A and B are shown apart, each in its own frame.
Chain A
Amino acid sequence: MISEKDLNQAATTFDRLSDAVTGVIVGHEAAVRGALIALLCRGNILLEGVPGLGKTLLVRTLAHAMGLRYSRIQFTPDLMPADIVGTDIITEEDGHRRFSFSPGPVFANVVLADEINRATPKTQSALLEAMEERTVSVGTHTYPLEEPYIVLATQNPIEMEGTYPLPEAQIDRFLLKANVGFPTLEELVEITSRNTEGEGIRLPDPVAGADDIVLARRAVREIPIAAGLREYVARLVLATHPIDESAPAMVRDYVEYGASPRGALAVILAAKAHAFLCGEPNVRPADIEAVFGMALGHRLVLNFRGEAEGIPPADLLSDVWNKVRAV
C-alpha cells in the first residue's frame, strides 16, 4: 500500500513532468495528457495527426523529461520485424563464431513508432508482444523490456496511399488514441516564436526517473473507484455493441463491433490516472468522461455503412455517453 509520502512524491513528480512537457509543447493538451495517462497506466498511446504538428517533439520531450532511454522507429513499407525487435547475428570472439542477439530499437523505455501505418502488418505485428507483454521473442529466446516502457505511435490520417491500417488486434493494444489537432492562432504564434528565435527548441532536463514512474503507477492503481462507476463503465462499453439492447441507434446503424473488455479496463485505468493528474483522491464521473473518447474511440469497428459515411467514432461515443446514465 502506498504511503502518504510516496503519494505526495508521485504527485509532485508528475506535476513537474507535466510542467516540463507543456513548457516545450504548445497546445495539444489532450495529447500531452493522454501521453502522461498512458505512461501512468503502463499503456501505449496512438497519436493521430497530420505531419508537422509536433507529435515527434512531444514524444522526445516526454522521454527527455523522464530521463529515460528513448528510441525512434520510422516505419516504412520495407521495414522488417527484425529491424524493430533486433536479430541474432554471427559474431566471432576468440576464434569462435557464434550467434549473439543484437537488440532492436524496441529495447528502450520510450519508443516512438513514427507513422506506424506505413509499415506492413507483419512489421506492425512485431510490436504486439512488446506493447502488451513487455517482452520480445527472437528465435527461442524471450527478452524482457525494461520498465517503464511505453510505445508512442503516430499515424497520418490523410496521407493514406501506401499505408496499412493497423489490424484490430494491434490497435486494441493501444490504451489511448489521441488526436493531435491543428494549433490555434495563439498557439501557432507561440510555436513560431519558440522555434525561430534564440537557440530554438530546447528539450527539458530530466525531472523524473524510472522509479518515480513506477511509484506513480502504483499510486494510480490504488485510487478508488466506486462500484457504481465501475458498473457504469461496463454499461458504457456494452452500449458500444450494436447487438446490445442499450446501444443507441447510431451504434446499431454504424458499428460492426464494439469495444472489447480491454476497452473497459482502459477506461477505468485511464480515469484513475486522470484523477491522479487532477489531484483527486477518487475517480469521478468527470474523469471517466475525460478519457472515454480516447480510450474507446479506436476500438470501435465501423461497418460498411459507417465507413462509407465517414462516421466519426467520437460521434458514436457521444451518443453512447448521452444515452447511458450512471444512475
Chain B
Amino acid sequence: MSDFSQLVAAAERRARRMSGLRTAGSVLLLGEGLLLLGVLALRLLRIEIPSDAWSPIAAVACAVAAWIGYAFGRRRIPALPALLLRLDFALDLDARLSSLHELRLRGDRSPYRRRLEALLDLSAFDWRKGIPTPRFGVTALASGVGCLGVVVFLSFHPLPPPLSETPAVDSTAASSRGSSQDQTDLGAPIESLPGIPPTMEAEDAIPQTEPASDATDAQPFRLDDVLSELSRLDSSDPVLGDAPTDELDRLLDERREEAAALGEMLESILERIRQEGGGLTEDERQSLREQAGQMGSPQAVEALMDLLEENDPEVVEDMIESMLSTLDQDDTPPDGEPDTGGGSQSMGPSDEEGSESEDSLTDIDPGEPTEGDTGEVGPAGSESDPSGGTDPGLVQTDEDSRQPYGGEGGAPAMEGDPDEEREAGFIREEAPATLGASGDVSPFITEGVPIEIPSSDSAPASYVVDYTRMQSILRARDMPDDAVDTVRQYFETITRGGS
C-alpha cells in the first residue's frame, strides 16, 4: 500500500474515531444530563426510589449508551472526498490531496497525477492536525462524566428531608420502629427493629431513604444513648407539625393487647402453680407457645421460651412472678400523671434499667392513650396522642424537679391549671428537668428536650420540640443524618400524632 493510501486509510480511521467520540459525548451528555435532571427532580419532589442500585444502573446504562453511540458514530463513514478536502483546507494544501485521490480513483495516469504526487510530500506535514479532536465531543464527554459523578454523589449523599415535610407513613413507621426498639432492644442497631408486625414491615418498605439505611448499616448506634442525650437538652424554639400516627396507634394497641393477654395467662398459670404446685402443664406450655408465636417482640418470645424450657416449679414460679412484675411495672402509670392507660405502659428499659432490657417481655410502645384510658386526662388524652408513649429511657426518678408536662396529651393539664393562663399564640417554657413517678406521660418524652407550649386555649394543644438543637447535639456526636431523622420522626410522632 502506498503512502497516500495509508494516509487516506489512517485519516478515515481517525475521522471515524472522532465521529464516534462526538456521538458518544453527545449521547453521554444527554443521558447523564437527563439522569441528573431526573435525580434532582426526584430530590426536589422528595420522591424516593425503593432500590439501592438504581443510580449506578442508570449511570452504567448511560455509559453503555455512550459506547453504543461511539460505535454508531464510527460507523458513520465520512465522505472521503469531503474528508480529504477538509484536510486540504486545514493543512493549506490547495486541494491537492483530494485532487490526487480523485485521479487515483479514476486510475488516471496523466501528467497531472505525477505532478501532484511530486508536489505532495506526505512526510512534510502532519495530517492529524487536519482532523483535530472535536472539542464538542471532548467537552460533552467530560460533561457527561461530570454529570455521572454528580449523580453518583447525590445517590450516596441524600439531602435530609425537610423538617416540615415528612411523609406520614414514613413518620409513623419510623416512629413505631423507634418506640418499639427502645423498649425492647435498645442495644441493637436502629435498623434491626424487632417486634414490628408484618404489616408494619411491609409499610416500612415503602419509602425509606435508601442511603439512610446504608449509613445506618455502616454506623450503628444505640437509641437509648440518643435519648439520654436528648434528656439533657434544654427546651428552646420547638416546632411541632401534624404528622399523623394512626399506624403507630394501631401498632401500640396490638402491643397492649398482647401484653394484656400474656399477663392474664401468666397470672392464671401462677395461681394454679401456687394452688396445685408443680410445673407447667402441657396445655399451659401449648398456650404459652401459641402466645409466644403471636408476640411481636423477640425478647418477649425469648423470655417465654426460657420459661417453657424450665421444669423446676419454683424457678418457673419465680420467672412468672418476674415477668408479671415487669408487666405490672409497665402497665402501671406514674403517680400523678393524668395520661394513664396505654400511654403509661412503658415496657422498655430505661437508661437506669439498661441491664433489665433483656427481661422486657414486650416491645409495646405504651405511649398511646385511647379515649377510654385517658379519661382522667381529658381532651389531652386524645386517642391519637402519641406523646403518651413515654420512652422509659427518659424516665427520671426525681419527681420534685418535674412538672406535669407532656405532649398533646399533657396540654389539657396545662389548660386546667388556672395559673397557666396564656395569651394567644405561643409562649416558650422550659421542660421540667425531672419527672415524678406518675403523672402525664408527656414529660417523659420531652424530659430535657426544648419544647414550646401553645398559649392559646382555643388552639389545639401541642408541644413542639427544638429539633434544631436536638439535631446539632446528635450530629456533634457523629450520628448519621438518617438516624437524626429517625429520632426527629420519633418525636414528631409521639408528640403530635393524633392532633
B-binding residues in A (CB < 8 A): 1-4, 7, 222-229, 231-232, 280-286, 326-327
Contact = CB atoms under 8 A, between A and B. Distances in A.
Contacts of A286: 94
A281 B112 contact: yes
Contacts of B95: 225-226, 228-229, 282-285
A232 B99 CA distance: 14
B477 interface: no
Interface stretch (B35-43, B54-62, B81-89, B160-168): B81-89
B112 A226 contact: no
Contact of A282 (B82, B89, B99, B109): B99
24 contacts: A1-B108, A1-B109, A2-B110, A4-B111, A223-B112, A224-B116, A225-B99, A226-B81, A226-B88, A226-B95, A226-B98, A226-B101, A226-B102, A227-B81, A227-B102, A228-B81, A229-B85, A229-B98, A231-B82, A281-B111, A281-B112, A282-B95, A282-B112, A327-B86
Contacts of A7: 111-112
A229 B116 CA distance: 16
A21 to B, nearest CB: 26
A4 B84 CA distance: 26
A228 B84 contact: yes
A239 B82 CA distance: 19
Nearest to A1: B110
A26 B86 CA distance: 40
A295 to B, nearest CB: 18
Contacts of B96: 281-282
Given A224-B108, A282-B94, A282-B95, A326 B102 contact: no
Instruction: Specify which of A226, A231, A285 lies most central, judged by the most chain B CB atoms within 10 Å of its CB.
Output: A226
A2 B115 CA distance: 14
A118 B111 CA distance: 46
B103 interface: yes
Contact of A226 (B84, B115, B119): B84
Contacts of A282: 94-96, 99-100, 112, 116
B102 to A, nearest CB: 5
A3 B109 CA distance: 9
A232 B81 CA distance: 11
Contacts of B101: 226
Given A282-B96, A282-B99, 4 more contacts: A224-B113, A225-B95, A225-B99, A228-B82
Interface of B: 81-82, 84-86, 88-89, 94-96, 98-103, 108-116, 119
- Sorted nearest first, the 7 A-B pairs with minimum C-beta distance are A228-B85, A226-B98, A282-B99, A281-B115, A227-B81, A284-B94, A4-B111
B7 to A, nearest CB: 15
A228 B109 contact: no
Contacts of A327: 82, 85-86, 89
Contact of A281 (B86, B89, B119): B119
A222 B110 contact: yes
A320 B94 CA distance: 21
Given A284-B94, A285-B94, A327-B86, A225 B112 contact: no
A172 B113 CA distance: 33
A209 to B, nearest CB: 22
Contacts of B110: 1-2, 222, 224
A283 B99 contact: yes
A222 B112 contact: yes
A281 B98 CA distance: 12
A228 B79 CA distance: 9
A242 B455 CA distance: 81
A284 to B, nearest CB: 4
Nearest to B119: A281
A224 B112 contact: yes
Nearest to B86: A327
A122 to B, nearest CB: 45
Contacts of B111: 2-4, 7, 281
Contacts of B108: 1, 224
Contact of B98 (A4, A228, A280): A228
A179 to B, nearest CB: 27
A222 B111 CA distance: 10
Contacts of A1: 108-110
A319 B119 CA distance: 33
A222 B114 CA distance: 13
A284 B216 CA distance: 72
A283 B116 CA distance: 11
Instruction: Specify which of B86, B95, B111, B113 lies most central, judged by the most chain A CB atoms within 10 Å of its CB.
Output: B95
A7 to B, nearest CB: 5
Contacts of B116: 224, 281-282
Nearest to A232: B85
Contacts of A226: 81, 84-85, 88, 95, 98-99, 101-102
A229 B81 CA distance: 9
A222 to B, nearest CB: 6
Contacts of B85: 226, 228-229, 232, 326-327
Contacts of A229: 85, 95, 98
A2 B108 CA distance: 11
A292 B59 CA distance: 53
A208 B413 CA distance: 126
A4 B111 CA distance: 5
A282 B102 CA distance: 10
Contacts of B103: 224
A227 B129 CA distance: 22
Instruction: Specify which of A3, A223, A282, A283 lies most central, judged by the most chain B CB atoms within 10 Å of its CB.
Output: A282
A229 B99 CA distance: 9
A225 B101 CA distance: 10
Nearest to A282: B99
A7 B98 CA distance: 22
A1 B103 CA distance: 13
A224 B94 contact: no
Contacts of B109: 1
Contact of A224 (B86, B88, B89, B99): B99
Contacts of B112: 7, 222-224, 281-282
Nearest to A327: B86
Contacts of B99: 224-226, 281-283
Contacts of B102: 224-227
A283 B96 CA distance: 8
Nearest to B105: A227
